[in-house]
Structure 1
Amino acid sequence: MNTSRKNNRPNFRGAPTSPGRHQPKRKAVSSLDPKLLVKKAKPTVSLTGPSLGKKFSELPLDSKLQLNIQKKGYTNLTPIQEQAVPVLLDGKDMLAISRTGSGKTAAFLIPLIMRLLKKPLASSVLIVAPTRELALQIGEEFKGLTLGMNFRWATFIGGTNLQSDLNHLSQKPQVLIGTPGRLLDLARQKVLHLKHVNTLVLDEFDRMLDMGFIQDVKRLVEMIGPREQTLLFSATLDPTQQKLISGLLNNPVEIHVDPGTSANEHIDQETIFVPEGEDKFMVLEKLLRNPELNKVILFAETKRLADRLAKKLVQGGITAGQIHGDKSQNFRNRVLGEFKSGTIRVLVATDVAARGIDVADVSHVINYQMPMTMDAYIHRIGRTGRAGKTGKAITFIN
């Protein structure tokens, strides 16, 4: 394989950047048509039905990896996994577009683990994710898939203790997982050296652009230099990003599977109109009295509103917690753990976590306010109806 990137350097000119700090604030108004937020879910396919993809046991994988895949309960490959895994096992660059919750993480981790098994001393992997929660989720998935393999790996995210990062780096991890800002900070302090990285994965690439991380990603790529393999995984693809993507990839294989330009068909979507003068929180509270809403993610537009909603829910006897950018990472980890275990029933979140929450069996997603864009809406409600199950999404309309 030709690993040189000298004539294929990233070209980031014209890429979207963060809005200027001194621009005047405008009152945010949703651009969504409420009619688009109402849709009945299609029947789900039986998890044991003949229409599912091939089995993991049919893939040429290491026996320990096969055992760990079985322990995680994975039997059949999802469509993105069925298309991506064989290509990545061949070591090719890839641009993969597939909606959230489609199994993208395992699609790139399984081939990378096979590379590490074959060349443990010659492989170094960097996986970049836009949010702390997503980086931690990738780390947990890697941990589960590599039990008993003695790989060295670490996660580097904002809001955590720097000394802990230094301790992890002293172990010379083979796999680095992190958010752009923290990785760049460590590299600038010359405690993280990226020249030895030969495999780069940019997960939720579109979200990284949306969040204004493009300059950080550019600097990280320049620090890495030539690579053997580069993977871009994303839920959506903006045609204006094609030049940027071409600068990152070398003769890539492109895979488009069920892209995230529309909501998951297995999600029941409805709206609740709140007349002027009616107390919307009382409407929410009454809705949550229904025991069918047993594991709920409630999205709010601002951090302040998320805090207020969580506090009022707890005061009303409904177990709830909140995560957003102003909360420490330890706080966010604890609340997310309580939500996963069922200790709290309602998780109030802002968009910062919309793509990083991977919790099984979320029964409902509720938008307390209409999301600003369809893209935000799709990724929010994608927290339910995962792994072939039916979910429910409710959006309040003022």
Structure 2
Amino acid sequence: LAFVATVPRTRRLLKEEDMTKIEFETSEEVDVTPTFDTMGLREDLLRGIYAYGFEKPSAIQQRAIKQIIKGRDVIAQSQSGTGKTATFCVSVLQCLDIQVRETQALILAPTRELAGQIQKVLLALGDYMNVQCHSCIGGTNVGEDIRKLDYGQHVVAGTPGRVFDMIRRRSLRTRAIKMLVLDEADEMLNKGFKEQIYDVYRYLPPATQVCLISATLPHEILEMTNKFMTDPIRILVKRDELTLEGIKQFFVAVEREEWKFDTLCDLYDTLTITQAVIFCNTKRKVDWLTEKMREANFTVSSMHGDMPQKERESIMKEFRSGASRVLISTDVWARGLDVPQVSLIINYDLPNNRELYIHRIGRSGRYGRKGVAINFVKNDDIRILRDIEQYYSTQIDEMPMNGKLAFVNLLPEYLIDNVDMFSIDVLVVQGTKCAFLFQPYTGFTDLGP
């Protein structure tokens, strides 16, 4: 009950184009269920869905929820910010026997923050079901994990290392598990996690249903699923749909690495109009850039995987609340994390692969809203940028020379959805006064340009 009071009861209706324009490549037996009421969901779950603020299922929810509920293995892919987390959370909750206080569903995620976010969504949607859900993640007290698991949890959401540790200690009993969900599945089946996933999978009952969810699913990952999935239903968005229609993409030609910092400082005033995430490729670069920005009297926060868990949680709490506006991070923040008011992404370093690019820019433009992605590109990065454009059939335009002012001029079209919550009265940039009179934030509304 204490948690539920903190969940904002806001409208989470995706824009209509999310329902109609996305093209999926699906198995023949997949049909479209246009409303939550026609999905055959239990009454107490429906109450939780509507209380959470959902009104109409998104495109991926319309296709995937019924298939998961039927007990089929499912591979589901859709763009970032289109409701994938709620897709499997609703499905998991529908399949639980609440009278049985044993773990019946296991959800694995690549980062601690994402596992915690999944737990919160489950508790909120299951508000009227008396569901027990525990977040089992590294960096936290092992004794507390053991105590919670001994009490009995219907669902465990966690990171593979800590989950496997709890299984080996026999604190997490797997005999009643009937569903395994891999969120950000391509990352989970990558080299770093693959062995841990297989370690966990070996302890699950043979008939366990498996669901894979991600915004990106490369061909080699799809081929790998034959090892542990049975005749899976496939719901895959077409590749050229993946670049997220509502996100305007730019690049800034900086020529040399040392010019990036000055470019970022020039843009700082604009970053704080809304909330922004700046991505670097290494933890060392995050620490260096954070220190440089603070030395120049800019207010920023930062996060990466080497930070203590308590510090990571504190930074996330501040950023979600809007207390901090600019977050510098590694790719620990690139997957799945949902802060709807983020509408600007800066790739200080271009990511190392094409899939990460989609996940990074997908931190903006959540729930069909608009966003902007700006890429700092050195001379030797142009080839990588063109490869991303070609692979996803998208266009990344060069930002005009008067970068700051040009960016501000994008606000009415691309960022107005998110600026509204900060009640900005007047913005002065390069001597140009741009007046914006906004009402306080009242929910996920589409104000339009």
TM over 0.5: yes
| 1:135–1:204 CA distance, 2 compared to 1 (3 A) | same
What is the match of residue 61 of structure 2? 81
What is the match of residue 196 of structure 1? 176
Shift of residue 276 of structure 1?
3.9
Q: 1:129 aligns with which of 97, 109, 116?
A: 109
Q: 1:325 aligns with which of 286, 289, 305?
A: 305
- For 1:223, the aligned partner's letter is Y
Is residue 340 of structure 2 the alignment partner of residue 360 of structure 1? yes
| 1:228–1:188 CA distance, 2 compared to 1 (3 A) | closer
Q: 1:227 aligns with which of 207, 224, 229?
A: 207
| 1:238–1:282 CA distance, 2 compared to 1 (3 A) | closer
Shift of residue 76 of structure 1?
1.4
Alignment gaps of 5+ in structure 1: 1-44
Offset from partner CA, 1:226-252 (integer Å, 9 cap, x none): 134221112233333345312211222
Q: 1:275, 1:320 → 2: CA distance?
A: 25
| 1:237–1:363 CA distance, 2 compared to 1 (3 A) | closer
Q: 1:236, 1:49 → 2: CA distance?
A: 17
Shift of residue 120 of structure 1?
4.3
Is residue 121 of structure 2 the alignment partner of residue 170 of structure 1? no
What is the match of residue 304 of structure 1? 284
- Residues 98 and 260 of structure 1 are in contact (CA less than 8 Å); yes or no, is this contact kept in structure 2? no
- For 1:367, the aligned partner's letter is N
Q: 2:94 aligns with which of 97, 102, 114?
A: 114
Alignment gaps of 5+ in structure 2: 1-13, 22-32, 379-449
- Partner of 2:210, secondary structure, is strand
| 1:283–1:91 CA distance, 2 compared to 1 (3 A) | same
Q: 1:73, 1:244 → 2: CA distance?
A: 37
Q: 2:99, 2:265 → 1: CA distance?
A: 55
- Partner of 2:324, secondary structure, is coil
What is the match of residue 180 of structure 1? 160
Q: 2:133 aligns with which of 153, 164, 183?
A: 153
Is residue 312 of structure 2 the alignment partner of residue 336 of structure 1? no
- For 2:252, the aligned partner's letter is I
Offset from partner CA, 1:348-381 (integer Å, 9 cap, x none): 1101221042111212000112222221211111
- For 2:228, the aligned partner's letter is L
- Residues 99 and 258 of structure 1 are in contact (CA less than 8 Å); yes or no, is this contact kept in structure 2? no
Q: Please provide the CA RMSD for this pair.
A: 2.5
Is residue 356 of structure 2 the alignment partner of residue 376 of structure 1? yes
- Residues 302 and 329 of structure 2 are in contact (CA less than 8 Å); yes or no, is this contact kept in structure 1? yes
Tell me which stretches of 4 or more aligned residues in structure 1 moved more than 6 Å: none
Bigger CA drift: 78-87 or 220-229?
A: 220-229
Q: 1:215 aligns with which of 191, 195, 214?
A: 195
- Residues 126 and 199 of structure 1 are in contact (CA less than 8 Å); yes or no, is this contact kept in structure 2? yes
Q: 2:287, 2:353 → 1: CA distance?
A: 23
- Residues 19 and 58 of structure 2 are in contact (CA less than 8 Å); yes or no, is this contact kept in structure 1? no
Per the normalisation by structure 2, the TM-score is 0.73
| 1:112–1:313 CA distance, 2 compared to 1 (3 A) | same
Q: 1:105, 1:353 → 2: CA distance?
A: 16
- Residues 371 and 377 of structure 1 are in contact (CA less than 8 Å); yes or no, is this contact kept in structure 2? yes
- Residues 319 and 343 of structure 1 are in contact (CA less than 8 Å); yes or no, is this contact kept in structure 2? no
Q: 1:157, 1:258 → 2: CA distance?
A: 33
Shift of residue 216 of structure 1?
0.8
Q: 2:77, 2:217 → 1: CA distance?
A: 7
Bigger CA drift: 198-207 or 276-285?
A: 276-285
| 1:49–1:276 CA distance, 2 compared to 1 (3 A) | closer
Q: 2:318, 2:363 → 1: CA distance?
A: 17
Q: 1:95, 1:50 → 2: CA distance?
A: 19
Offset from partner CA, 1:337-358 (integer Å, 9 cap, x none): 1111111111111012210421
What is the match of residue 285 of structure 1? 265
- Partner of 1:212, secondary structure, is helix
How many corresponding residue pairs?
Answer: 354
- For 1:141, the aligned partner's letter is V
Q: 2:223, 2:373 → 1: CA distance?
A: 36
The one of the two structures with greater contact order (alpha-carbon pairs below 8 A, sep at least 6) is: 1
| 1:275–1:292 CA distance, 2 compared to 1 (3 A) | same
What is the match of residue 394 of structure 2? none
Q: 2:191, 2:302 → 1: CA distance?
A: 21
